[in-house]
Amino acid sequence: MENKIKQSGNRQNELVHILHEVQERFGYIPPERLAEIAKKLNISESEIYGVLTFYKAFSLEPGGEHTVTVCMGTACHVRGGQQITDEMERKLDIKVGQTSADGKFTLETVNCLGCCAIGPVVTVDGKYYSHATMKNIASILKEY
Amino acid sequence: MKITLDGKQIEVEEGQTVLDAARENDIYIPSLCDNPHLSPFSGCRLCLVEIKGQRGYAPSCSTIAREGMEVKSDSPKLRKIRIRILELILSEHPSACLICQEKENCDEYKSTIRKVGETTGCVLCPNNGRCDLQKVADALGVDSIRFPAIYRDIEVNKKDPFFDRNYNLCILCGRCVRVCHEIRGTSTITFVNRGSDAVIGTALDKTLQDAGCQFCGACVDVCPTGALTERSLKYEKIADETKETICPLCSMGCRLDVGKYEGRILSSQPSEDGKVNQGQACVKGRFLLKNTVYSGQRIKRPMIRRKKDLEPVSWDEALDFVAEKLKGFPGDKVGFIQSSQVSCEDMFVFEQFVRDVLKSDQIAAESENSVYGILKELADESGVILPMNHKIKEISQADTIFLSGADIVSSHPIVWLAVLKAVKTGAGLIIAAPFEFSLSRYATLDLRIKPGSEAMLLGYLAKQVLGREDLSEKETVKGLEDLKKSVEDLRIEDVLKLTGIPNEETLTHAEKLFRPDRSVVLLLGAGFAGKEKIKNTLAAGWNLARLTRGRLFLLGSGVNERGQFEIRKIYDKKIDLSEFIRKAAEGKIEALYMTGPITLAVKFDPAFLVVQDSYWSDMAKKAHAVFPASTFAEDECSFVNTEGRVQRSGSIIPHYEESKPDWWIISRLAQKMGARSFSFKKSSDIFNRIEKEIPAFTGITNVSFTKEEDLFIKEEQGDKIGFLPAVYDRTVSSGEKRYPFLLVQDGGYDSYRNLDLTKENKGFAKIRETGIILLNPEDAVVLELKNGESVKINSESGESHAVVKISEAVPAGIVKTHFLRRLSPDSIFVSMLAVLPVNIKRGE
Ligand code: SF4
Ligand code: SF4
Ligand code: SF4
Ligand code: SF4
Ligand code: FES
Ligand code: FES
């Protein structure tokens, strides 16, 4: 029994480890690699998929050149974070988690970036933009 | 061990959860995510209880009972918490009906159906009336919800056969995910995403089939809501009656609960307390039983061919006609073929009729070519007695399992479940087969050996065991010296070369799994090798099992193949199958009477042909007399499964049209031909005779329809348990010049009598990939074939067609198919024995 738990525990760790390696190498986890990983670890593709989608850090799509992050923490939310996100989705013609067709931007959301006072907050590749509004989104994106 | 539950002292077993203990004592604790067969999940939190001396509340589904524990399952506080939790669950679940004040009226008259939107009510939910969520809501008396309702608006997934997935109704209890992973081993479905985005799904949203689903239906059966529902039940009423039967679709003999409404069969589900299957089944029993009974191919009435056409007549007329005709043929010109899928009663009466009334022994049966028949032949030759009874359940206690000759996930599903259980508790699994099995990933050693080299591998392992163990106490065992001699010169180089096992380490690893401290089970089926090879494999398997004090478990095929084998044991004179086929081909059989499936590759036009079957076939269409036989569902039947377990099932529906049980037809015919006995009134009269006349059934009286008994075939006892002379031959099967590929079949038993289930149900054909051959990428290059191209397959004896699927699951030189008809003369008996040299060419 103990053996069994250890084994499956190990496999779980190994899986996360492998996923990290793949992501590091390709910048994302190419969906067609799932079968290969499944073979290697002797588990089903769905098991991998479950773990993969559990962690936000893993992505099945190649990231864009730039990562746009909209804060959806409570403070930013009440100041219109949702609208900002919606507008971003419309502008880039993608949903959160996806990458724009030209491969330029990947859109993400986070829960509080720790600077609530200047919200709503948007970051691009780690650069902060305070008091984001529907209007200045375009100019933010234009910088890239 | 005792605990106190709601002030009552109750007895609990070591390791039992509080929830299970409560269930056993009929104390209701609401629960949704728990299922007694699955590991605790503690997701829904409805089952919270108070435990004295412990702060807060504990989920009873994952709390193991401790001696003296004092548990309270109900209190105003608990009720409040539970209601709150249920409200949360319901806020994401279409729940208008659950809390609607018109509910009762509505259920009855559907009067207020328009008051709630379609998507939000139980009224239109296929699960209505059989829903755990409804039950819990009723029990807790929830009548309003304080949280805003969220409708997830996920498209209903109807892409796969048999059942729909409507995750708008899903409460994320995880039961489906757990049953698929823990019990079935497939892990087709999983939790996707996390938190409020979580849904149940497959990798990359593939179809279930592409994600490896067995379509066992286990997830549907455990789902507490209408999220997973059988498609054919969607617009059906709730069953008003449930009957039990034994599934006739393979050698496992699962017990099924058959739901009926106004006399018609609606559904079939595995019986929770079935001795063999314990709440599990497979795609066939779960989803195809109804098709089997109500097939459009059913023969409705007796017909005879007086002139040109078959014409319907009364039973009397038909029987007179056949009796008269049969009298006109000399005994040695009449042949009989007996199905292995009819009941013991049917078989017994048929044998009696042919042998006693017609004084003939030209009665052939599929079981002669079965694993039992082949092994028995060997045992008789060397005067050895070998036990064939085993319980599937016991496989799960093995430390080492060696599997060959059957891809058990589809051919012996319940055996697979036991194997999986063993593997999950640390057993080593060796699979020795020429291609990849559907769940080979569970194997400790997945040995892709060359077809026909099984015996050599087993012999080599036996040699290692012999060399290691102190065998003094066994020195006297019959045949040991011969065994030693026969394996002596199996050198490791030869074994590696001939089996194709890549290196010595792999072999050494295999050897280790047969160390004396391990309990060994060998599972051997009749597939992928051809009769001569299988003979050697079985003998070698038996010897290795003997040496390791392990067990050999034979994987037989038809629902009553074992029963047929046991019944026919008492007759000394049995016609050999190949001889039968030869005689037929040479025209030495002028009249043929058959109750079983037959696909003749040899040209065979008997002057007089009687087909007694439940379904129309090519043979039936050209017969001179057609007798409609009832199916398993319409009469009491006794079957013996591959364990040697004798089971009986009752009649669940009246006889279809004018059909009659096989035993009835034969008895009447016997009487028409002048026999005095054969005055059987019901099937149990015959069973009593079997019990008296056939030693294997001695003492098996009153086999009842209830599931409480463990009744097994009586086996010969004695001290003649020894080794068998095995030939560890040094050849492997392969193609030849004109037919360079070796065709192997991984199934072939997806039929019931003359009904091909893959033809009966499109979804089933799809999941069995009928008409598809798997081809190694290398071969595809050589043959210049692409995925999806049509090919012609030729063998010495026939031609067939298929579509190519390129796959690494098969090695170069081997093509695999589920089942192709018309290729081998052997297919007069649809059996799994065939490996066939073929050639493959592009073309329709
Ligand atoms: S799953 Fe149950 S509670 Fe939900 S709509 Fe269907 S019957 Fe009603
Ligand atoms: S039908 Fe069986 S194999 Fe398929 S998903 Fe459900 S439990 Fe898993
Ligand atoms: S589909 Fe059914 S069994 Fe699976 S998690 Fe949802 S409600 Fe539970
Ligand atoms: S395993 Fe065999 S007996 Fe059980 S349901 Fe499937 S076909 Fe029927
Ligand atoms: S909520 Fe946006 S930074 Fe804190
Ligand atoms: S049944 Fe115990 S938490 Fe769901």
Q: What is the pLDDT of residues B575-593, one digit of tens each?
A: 877 788 788 878 888 999 9
Phi, psi of B370 (to 5 degrees): -85, 170
Percent of chain B scoring above 70 in pLDDT = 92
- Non-local (6+) Cβ contacts of B519 within 8 A are B397, B398, B399, B400, B549, B550
Give the DSSP letter of residue B98.
H
Query: Strand pairing partners for B593?
Result: B336, B610
Q: Taking CB atoms and an 8 Å limit, are B193 and A45 in contact across chains?
A: no
Evaluate if residue B234 carries a pLDDT over 90: no
Pull the structure tokens for residue B174: 């995880």
Structure-model confidence comparison of residues B326 and B725, the more confident one: B326
Distance, CA B169 to ligand 1 centroid (Å)? Answer: 7
Domains, chain B = 1-74 (3.10.20.740), 303-359+568-697 (3.40.50.740), 371-555 (3.40.228.10), 741-842 (2.40.40.20)
Residue nearest to atom 6 of ligand 4 (CA): B282
Nearest CA in chain B to A32: B204
**Using CA atoms, how far apart are residues B424 and B187, in angstroms rounded to an integer?**
14
pLDDT band at B115 (very low <50, low <70, confident <90, very high): very low
Q: Containing H/E element for B335? A: strand B334-338
B530: left (phi over 0), alpha (psi -120 to 50) or beta: left
Pull the structure tokens for residue B203: 């990798």
Distance, CA A50 to ligand 6 centroid (Å)? Answer: 21
As a whole number, mean pLDDT of residues B757-784 equals: 92
**Using CA atoms, how far apart are residues B353 and B832, in angstroms rounded to an integer?**
29
Evaluate if residue B211 carries a pLDDT over 70: yes
Evaluate if residue B176 carries a pLDDT over 70: yes
As a whole number, mean pLDDT of residues B123-128 equals: 76
Other beta carbons within 10 angstroms of residue B821's beta carbon come to 14
Say yes or no: CB of residue B838 within 6 Å of ligand 4.
no
**Using CA atoms, how far apart are residues B685 and B696, in angstroms rounded to an integer?**
17
As a whole number, mean pLDDT of residues B445-450 equals: 94
Instruction: Give the one of B193, B212, B441 whose C-beta lies nearest to A42's C-beta.
Output: B441
Q: Which of B811, B795, B721 is nearest to B453 (CA)?
A: B811
Evaluate if residue A2 carries a pLDDT over 50: no
Phi, psi of B542 (to 5 degrees): -60, -45
Residue type, B126: P
pLDDT at residue B92 in the model? 84
pLDDT at residue B826 in the model? 41
pLDDT at residue B830 in the model? 42
- Non-local (6+) Cβ contacts of B820 within 8 A are B743, B745, B771, B773, B793, B800, B802
pLDDT band at A106 (very low <50, low <70, confident <90, very high): confident
Instruction: Give the one of B191, B425, B442 whose C-beta lies nearest to A50's C-beta.
Output: B191
Q: What tens digit of pLDDT does each residue of B297-350 get?
A: 999 999 999 999 999 999 999 999 999 999 999 888 999 989 889 999 999 999
Helix, strand, or coil here: B137? Answer: helix
Distance, CA B172 to ligand 6 centroid (Å)? Answer: 12
| Residue B179 CB-half CA count within 13 A | 23
Question: What is the number of the ligand closest to the CA of B224?
Answer: 3
pLDDT band at B442 (very low <50, low <70, confident <90, very high): very high
Q: Does A46 touch chain B (CB under 8 A)?
A: yes
Instruction: Give the one of B187, B206, B424 whose C-beta lies nearest to A47's C-beta.
Output: B187
Q: Does A9 touch chain B (CB under 8 A)?
A: no
- Which segments within B69-118 are labelled E, that is strand? 70-72
- Which segments within B508-628 are labelled E, that is strand? 520-525, 551-555, 591-594, 608-613, 625-628
Evaluate if residue B630 carries a pLDDT over 50: yes
Q: Containing H/E element for B694? A: none
Q: Taking CB atoms and an 8 Å limit, are A46 and B441 in contact across chains?
A: no
The shortest C-alpha distance from B89 to chain A (Å) reads 21
Say yes or no: CB of residue B253 within 6 Å of ligand 4.
yes
Q: Taking CB atoms and an 8 Å limit, are B190 and A49 in contact across chains?
A: yes
**Using CA atoms, how far apart are residues B284 and B250, in angstroms rounded to an integer?**
9
pLDDT at residue B216 in the model? 97
**Using CA atoms, how far apart are residues B166 and B229, in angstroms rounded to an integer?**
8
Helix, strand, or coil here: B745? Answer: strand
Q: Taking CB atoms and an 8 Å limit, are B202 and A46 in contact across chains?
A: yes
pLDDT band at B142 (very low <50, low <70, confident <90, very high): confident
Evaluate if residue B798 carries a pLDDT over 60: yes
Q: Which of B86, B81, B98 is nearest to B143 (CA)?
A: B98
**Using CA atoms, how far apart are residues A129 and B317, in angstroms rounded to an integer?**
95
Q: Containing H/E element for B228? A: strand B228-230
Q: Whole-model pTM?
A: 0.90
pLDDT at residue B471 in the model? 58
Burial of residue A131, with CB atoms counted within 10 A of its CB: 0-12 exposed, 13-18 middle, 19 or more buried: exposed
Pull the structure tokens for residue B485: 């001699």
pLDDT at residue B370 in the model? 86
As a whole number, mean pLDDT of residues A12-34 equals: 89
Contact yes or no for B818/B756 (Cβ under 8 A): no
CA B281 to ligand 4: nearest atom: 5
pLDDT band at B105 (very low <50, low <70, confident <90, very high): low
Distance, CA B188 to ligand 2 centroid (Å)? Answer: 6
CATH of domain A66-142: 3.40.30.10
Evaluate if residue B112 carries a pLDDT over 60: no
Q: Crossing angle for the helix pair B76-91 and B132-140, nearest 10 degrees?
A: 140
Evaluate if residue B821 carries a pLDDT over 70: no
For chain A, the maximum distance between any two Cα atoms, rounded to a whole number of angstroms, is: 60
Q: Does A86 touch chain B (CB under 8 A)?
A: no
pLDDT at residue B831 in the model? 45
User: B151-155, B263-267, B492-496, B719-723: lowest mean pLDDT where?
Assistant: B719-723
Task: Give the mean pLDDT of chain B.
Answer: 89
CA B130 to ligand 1: nearest atom: 7
Residue type, B431: I
Instruction: Give the one of A31, A42, A49 whose C-beta lies nearest to B192's C-beta.
Output: A49
Residue nearest to atom 7 of ligand 1 (CA): B128
Contact yes or no for B273/B707 (Cβ under 8 A): yes
pLDDT band at A4 (very low <50, low <70, confident <90, very high): very low
pLDDT at residue B823 in the model? 54
**Using CA atoms, how far apart are residues B656 and B696, in angstroms rounded to an integer?**
32
Evaluate if residue A8 carries a pLDDT over 60: no
Other beta carbons within 10 angstroms of residue B262's beta carbon come to 9
Q: Which of B619, B595, B663 is nearest to B338 (CA)?
A: B595
Which ranges of B387-530 does DSSP label H, i.e. alpha helix?
392-395, 408-411, 413-424, 454-468, 480-488, 492-499, 504-512
Contact yes or no for B179/B245 (Cβ under 8 A): no
Contact yes or no for B536/B727 (Cβ under 8 A): yes
User: B235-239, B345-349, B446-450, B733-737: lowest mean pLDDT where?
Assistant: B733-737
Pull the structure tokens for residue B825: 């003369």
Distance, CA B222 to ligand 3 centroid (Å)? Answer: 8
Q: What tens digit of pLDDT does each residue of B547-566 get?
A: 999 999 999 988 999 999 99
Residue B488 CA: distances (Å) to CA of B482, B483, B485: 10, 8, 5
Q: Crossing angle for the helix pair B561-568 and B344-352, nearest 10 degrees?
A: 30
| Residues B67-79: b if buried by 16+ CB within 10 A, e if exposed | eebebbbeeeebe
pLDDT at residue B554 in the model? 96
Evaluate if residue B395 carries a pLDDT over 50: yes
Q: Containing H/E element for B241? A: strand B241-246
Q: Which residue has the tokens 């199958």?
A: B577
Say yes or no: CB of residue B559 within 6 Å of ligand 4.
no
Q: Which of B180, B222, B230, B226 is nearest to B201 (CA)?
A: B180
Pull the structure tokens for residue B361: 């022994």
